[in-house]
Amino acid sequence: MLKHALITPWKVSNNLHKYMCYPLVRLIFQFNRIPWGMKWQFYGVPIVQKHRMSAMHFGDGLQLRSSVRSNPLGPNHPVLLCTWQEGARLEIGNDFAMSGGVLCTAEAIIIGNNVAVGANTTIIDTDFHPLDQTLRKVNKAQGDTKPILISDNVFIGMSCLILKGVTIGEASVIGAGSVVARDIPSGVMAAGNPAKIIRELP
């Protein structure tokens, strides 16, 4: 243990930070009436913006890295969890991991088990604002929304943007810096802007 600490001393401070922020994170989740799971780990304090008439649920093994020091890729802000409108649902399965990203839903974001999301990725199911300028004058907050579904065992690289209405199939990989605006089938690697299938995975 001592040898490991000498080789990677920043991991020691990361773990100390994890234990120090734990009580505050637990209080934030309790205040927002989010059920607490088992084996959760928080490196830094996430931002939680939960509409009182919405639902957030996270499975066991949740790991959120919100501190810039918590990941060598340097998260550029805390993990942000937002249910933006009444009736919105953010539902995440077991063993989900994310570094410095955004999960924002006006309708529904459903994520399966064993999903890993790279640093600084944004997953959002709404346009926020209408594309039609006349509608923006009436209500700036009534952009189109469509649910997002991310299946089990998906890996999403750093700095990706996952847009409304997208389904990502089981065990697929999204390359770093991709913009996913259309469905991705199971068992493939996809990358680019817009993301396209690069190859099938074994």
Using the CB atoms, write b or e for 86-95: b if 16+ within 10 Å. Answer: eebbbebbbb
Q: Are 83 and 53 in contact (CB under 8 A)?
A: no
From the list 17, 51, 77, 129, the catalytic residue is 129
Task: Please tell me the distance from the alpha carbon of residue 196 to that of residue 15, in angstroms, as a whole number.
Answer: 38
Residue type, 100: G
Q: Are 117 and 92 in contact (CB under 8 A)?
A: no
Q: Is 129 a catalytic residue?
A: yes
The two structure tokens encoding residue 5: 């600490």
Residues labelled catalytic? 129
